Amino acid sequence: MAQTADIFSNIGKKKGDGNGGNENAGNRNAVHSQTLVSLLSQFGLTAIGFLSTIYFTRVVNPAIVGVYFLFFSYSALFYLFSESGIGESSVKLISEGKARNEYYTASMALRAVYLILCVAGLLISAVIFPTSTIMETGIFWWIIAALFIDYFYNSRIYAAYADGKINAFQVSLFLNTAVRSLFQIGIVYLGYHSFGLMGGFLVGMIFAAIFAHRYNQLKLVKFSKENFKRILTYAVLIFLVMSCYLIYQNIDVVFIGRYMTETDAGIYRIVYQFSMLAGLAATSVKAVLYPKFSAWNETKQYENITEGLRSGTSLSLMLAIPIFFSFLILGYDFISLFYGEAYIPGVPALFLLSFIQIITVFMYLQSICLNAISHPKYAFLSIAAGITANVILNIVLIPVYGMEGAALATVIAMLLNSALAYLLLRKVIPIRYNWISILKMVIASLLMCVFLLGFKYVLPITNVIYLLTAFVVGGLLYGLIMLKADRAIHDEVAEMVTSFGVKWPKWL
């Protein structure tokens, strides 16, 4: 039988060395622990954000919540320009291991230039447009403060990330969300709704920056024009890719709002965000593998990159595939019990959107691999082709099929994007996926669906407790089947857990 999923077991191994040597074994252990921390962090971030949002929508006046989300959206937009891909480019160049301090300093200088330009643009716009939404809602100075704090926040966490301290990077992200939510809940509870929401946004970044700074070993030194130019070149290309991702995440909503109603756009956005639960593992794996791909590319360890891509894809699909199938059975229950009957029209779109998360695993990891191995142009070309197709298909399909048409347009666009990224990446490195293990994931997910259907027949899902019980038990059943059906996955999951000093049960 063909070789099944190895996850991360072969990374760093040398031919003729069954153990891979102490150094390589340590390298694999680091990848295991970093992946687990990253995954737990992503789940924690999602849970905290989900629960805090429910609290605010029930306690705070909708107008104040609307102003906060307006502040949040504008801040994200201005971050895109003040950041402009500098963080990702600094990770790429610093992780290569050459002129690390010089590239770090050059990235800080470039950030400062962009920050000054962004703030200057905001100040000029305030004078020219004194009655703009930003000015009338009172969020102008909050945005200015957020930009300055973000300068230190992003420079700290990306310094840790580029230096290989991925656990510190993930914990910093978690701290940002956790401190923000706790501050917001506490201050809102005291009755200071607007200050609590906006202030928490800033306080979370401050605490996370302080934490990440403790792990920063990079120094500010004199850098050359070449260092600055290379950072800028990569930043521009990665900025284009980041901008495309932003368009991908919002273009459907824009067209639904244009061809349908604002209510339809809101429903679609809610189910889209919910579908992203299936993509959490891909986000976690990306955080671990991106700097390692870059370092391996610099030392020409292309086999490690191939193995890492294959293993990371398998690990990401282990979550994406069963969640897609579980949403087919429990989608209506999740949406009606979590968000209310008004959002049920979005459930058919949820089915397609959760399938998109499976395709996104391939697109996402292939794209970050192209960036890491010094081919960001290929990543941009593939995602630009996907966006072009998405825009055309949205115009054609939404007027006919509504929200389902928007989701179908994205499915087709993502398939095109993934196929192009695959073809372009294959020109640079060999690509090998574990199709046998992926097939086992599908079979295990189908068996899980049989259980979920039986659960719903015996015990109709009428409340959140029954829903979560079915979802969790079904997930455990899927996991148990996979551990028994695929020995390589069993060994890798066991090694990942034991890397934290936790004893693996013998019966598994």
Domain boundaries, the chain: 26-223, 246-433, 435-501
User: Average of pLDDT values for 152-162?
Assistant: 88
Query: Which of 8-12, 77-81, 161-165, 403-407 is predicted least confidently?
Result: 8-12
- pLDDT tens digit string along 273-325? 889 888 888 887 887 788 888 888 888 888 889 988 998 898 899 999 999 99
User: Average of pLDDT values for 105-121?
Assistant: 91
Our separate counts of H helices and E strands in the chain read 18, 0
CA distances from 419 to 306, 340, 367 (A): 17, 37, 11
- pLDDT tens digit string along 77-111? 777 777 778 888 888 888 888 888 999 999 999 99
Amino acid 33: pLDDT = 60
CA distances from 284 to 169, 336, 380, 455 (A): 11, 29, 22, 31
Best-predicted range by mean pLDDT among 21-25, 165-169, 180-184, 495-499? 180-184
User: Average of pLDDT values for 401-417?
Assistant: 94
* Residue scoring higher pLDDT (31 or 326): 326
Residue 422 C-alpha from the chain's centroid: 20
Amino acid 30: pLDDT = 56
User: Average of pLDDT values for 385-414?
Assistant: 93
- pLDDT tens digit string along 335-354? 888 877 888 999 999 999 99
Distance, CA of 464 to CA of 137 (rounded, Å): 37
pLDDT band with cut points at 50, 70 and 90 for residue 206 = very high
Amino acid 73: pLDDT = 67
CA distances from 114 to 78, 101, 107, 224 (A): 10, 20, 11, 19
Global pTM value: 0.75
Q: Which residues of 289-323 are buried (b: 16+ CB within 10 A; e: fewer)?
A: bbbbbbbbbbeebebbbbbbbbbbbbbbbbbbbbb
- pLDDT tens digit string along 426-453? 999 999 998 999 999 999 999 999 999 9
Three-state SS string across 24-57, please?
Answer: HHHHHHHHHHHHHHHHHHHHHHHHHHHHHHHHHH
pLDDT band with cut points at 50, 70 and 90 for residue 385 = very high
Query: What are φ and ψ of residue 190, in 5° steps?
Result: -75, -10
Residue 418, Cβ density class (10 Å: 0-12 exposed, 13-18 middle, ≥19 buried): buried
Distance, CA of 395 to CA of 405 (rounded, Å): 9
Strands (E), 431-479: none
User: Average of pLDDT values for 57-81?
Assistant: 73
pLDDT at 123 over 70: yes
Amino acid 98: pLDDT = 84
Distance, CA of 47 to CA of 174 (rounded, Å): 11
Distance, CA of 152 to CA of 115 (rounded, Å): 11
**Virtual CA dihedral for 151, 156, 158, 164, nearest 10 degrees?**
170
Amino acid 299: pLDDT = 84
Cβ atoms of residues 312 and 285 within 8 Å: yes
Mean pLDDT of the chain: 84
Amino acid 86: pLDDT = 86
pLDDT band with cut points at 50, 70 and 90 for residue 129 = confident
CA distances from 292 to 162, 297, 313 (A): 9, 8, 15
User: Average of pLDDT values for 116-144?
Assistant: 87
pLDDT band with cut points at 50, 70 and 90 for residue 4 = very low
- pLDDT tens digit string along 370-384? 988 888 889 889 988
Biggest CA–CA distance in the chain, Å, is 71
∠ CA 331-441-414, rounded to 5°: 65
Written as six digits, the tokens of 174 are 């978690």
Cβ atoms of residues 475 and 43 within 8 Å: no
Amino acid 488: pLDDT = 73
Amino acid 6: pLDDT = 43
**Virtual CA dihedral for 24, 28, 30, 33, nearest 10 degrees?**
-160
Distance, CA of 428 to CA of 425 (rounded, Å): 5
pLDDT at 268 over 70: yes
Amino acid 5: pLDDT = 39
Amino acid 16: pLDDT = 42
pLDDT at 393 over 90: yes
CB count in 10 Å sphere of residue 13: 20
Check the CA dihedral 379-176-210-121 and report its sign.
Answer: positive
User: Average of pLDDT values for 210-234?
Assistant: 89
Written as six digits, the tokens of 349 are 């779109």
∠ CA 48-69-143, rounded to 5°: 105
Block residue for tokens 């390298």: 27
pLDDT at 7 over 50: no
∠ CA 497-34-51, rounded to 5°: 85
Counting other chains too, the contacts that 62-68 makes at CB distance below 8 Å and 24 or more residues apart are 64/193, 64/194, 64/197, 65/197, 67/137, 67/138, 67/139, 67/194, 68/194, 68/197, 68/198, 68/201
